[in-house]
A = this chain, B = another copy of it.
Amino acid sequence: MSDIRTAAVIGAGVIGAGWAARFVLNGIDVIVHDPHPEAERRTRDVLANAERSHARLTMAPSGRQGTLRFAPSIAEAVAQADFVQESAPEREDVKKALLAEIDARARPDVLVCSSTSGLLPNRLQMDMKYPDRFLVGHPFNPVYLLPLVELCGGKRTAADAITRAREFYNGIGMRPLVVRKEIDGFIADRLLEALWREALWLVHDDIATVEEIDDAIRFGAGLRWAFMGTFQLYRLAGGEDGMRHFMAQFGPALQLPWSKLTDVPELTDAFIDKIARQSDAQAGGAPLRDAERKRDDCLVAIMQALKAQDYAAGAVLAGYEEKLFAAAHEDAGAERETDPTQPLQLHTGRVLPEWVDYNNHMTESRYLQIFGDSSDALFHSIGIDGDYHASGFSYYTVETHIVHRREIAGLEPFYTTTQILDADPKRLHVFHRLHHGRSHDLLASAEQMLLHVDTRQSRACPARADIHERVIALRDAHVHLERPEQAGRHVGVMTAPEIAAP
């Protein structure tokens, strides 16, 4: 996916640790440097949360994880690195000093990106010997989940460095946004700051509490911002007359005293106390990790929901998964040599968190879903595709007999095998077995009768000749296989005296 095998993460606060986690989850070896005594423990905590979320975010094969090491000095951290991400505190002097040190120790061809939220790259690169390889790569928390990363170079940044950074970040599932003009706060944080500044005034002036302010966003406009920006939304708010109408309607309100000037409430101890107090009340004593998990679970749920819409962050996720599947396919392609005389192995996967019940056992309908996916994989393998369906033909399941043997828990891996019991021009009689991906235990089986149907007439009809030939070839290859004991039985015969849980 990229020639970057090892990345150095300098500074492992919330952002740096988030970068380390995203890199590791994408197969990149990470070397962290952070003088904080708790840095390693905190980074591993963040990685644990990230692994948990990543497992839920995508079922795509993510390949090997990268390693995570900690180096006592910048020199040791960057010596072997193919990429450096700096995430030090938001102070220009601090960052300049660190970047100069990184610049002196890292290979000159290595990209050095700063996570700064808004300091100017032009100033940050001032003391660097190789400023051309430096740019801002500004992420958003949690870095291991949110796709956005703002890229911004300074006067002395090479155009090629921005191109390389864009490709790298894109390869690890992110959505780079190139900030074309250097400006304090770039784009996103200028917008966030403007909103937050107003929020601080509302708290300062006792108009509203932090909780009321948060509710004013998350139950309203915030739901929209998850997939459309302000301009897209206001265009729609303009109705059929669009943006011009909206500007005519609400433009004047911009002149109303609807927000404070950008002078900021003085951050006195009393004011900080007030915010912290209200924030504590809002959090209701929930531990940080719990709140983080809730946040991450919501983000995962939202990104998966948007994936089904193939829109916004969901489209980014879909594209990322395609890459992962393609990569895994290449890897697998080579050694996968299948024996046609054995049951077909056409479907593998992992039990999604939303597939399990209160017991963390996969719910029964998911067994049939997996068997149905196995039948689809079989159809695909014999040339039944979208065109075939579009031409008005399909196999329908008319009967299914499922026998359960063992439970399987959430996130566990599985695979199925498919045996052709019999076939004729109209009927396809198959037997699927569901196995645990590691223990290979038989979890359940499904005997299915599939009928080839003219979907327009809703009548059984013979399969197309080429499809039928492939079906018969499979049947003949399997004819020597032993008939499964669960096949051809009616309910009751197979009922197990006991049933085993994972």
A347 within 8 Å of B by Cβ? no
Q: Give every chain B residue within 8 A of A496 (Cβ-Cβ).
A: 398, 451, 460
Q: A231 touching B213 by the CB < 8 A rule?
A: yes
A189 within 8 Å of B by Cβ? yes
Q: B194 touching A215 by the CB < 8 A rule?
A: no
Q: Which of A185-202 contact B (CB under 8 A)?
A: 185-200, 202
Q: B13 touching A239 by the CB < 8 A rule?
A: yes
Q: A455 touching B494 by the CB < 8 A rule?
A: no
A299 within 8 Å of B by Cβ? yes
Q: B264 touching A262 by the CB < 8 A rule?
A: no
- Identify the stretch in A2-10, A159-167, A401-409 within 8 Å (CB) of chain B at 4 or more residues: A401-409
Decide: A240 near B42, CB < 8 A? Known: A117-B250, A230-B214, A501-B458.
yes
Report A118-155 CB contacts with B as 1/0, cut-off 8 Å.
Answer: 10000000000000000000001100001110100000
A389 within 8 Å of B by Cβ? yes
A305 within 8 Å of B by Cβ? yes
Q: Give every chain B residue within 8 A of A140 (Cβ-Cβ).
A: 220-221, 224
Q: Which of A233-250 contact B (CB under 8 A)?
A: 233-240, 242-244, 247, 249-250
A207 within 8 Å of B by Cβ? yes
Q: Give every chain B residue within 8 A of A394 (Cβ-Cβ).
A: 359
* Interface residues on chain A, size class: 35 or more
A341 within 8 Å of B by Cβ? no
Give the CA-CA distance A311 to B292 in the complex, in Å: 13
Decide: A298 near B288, CB < 8 A? Known: A195-B230, A397-B364.
no
A90 within 8 Å of B by Cβ? yes
Q: B301 touching A306 by the CB < 8 A rule?
A: yes
Give the CA-CA distance A272 to B487 in the complex, in Å: 71
A170 CB → nearest B CB, Å: 12
Task: Pull 11 A–B residue pairs with CB atoms less than 8 Å apart, ordered by A.
Answer: A177-B215, A187-B213, A191-B216, A195-B195, A243-B275, A298-B311, A302-B305, A365-B369, A401-B402, A459-B498, A488-B492
A399-B402, A449-B492 provided; 20 other pairs, C-beta below 8 A? Answer: A14-B238, A90-B249, A177-B212, A190-B259, A197-B254, A213-B231, A214-B232, A222-B229, A227-B295, A227-B302, A298-B305, A298-B306, A302-B302, A302-B305, A358-B389, A365-B372, A429-B491, A451-B499, A487-B491, A488-B491
Nearest first, the 9 A-B pairs at minimum CB distance are A214-B229, A222-B225, A148-B220, A185-B258, A365-B369, A301-B305, A226-B226, A305-B305, A210-B231
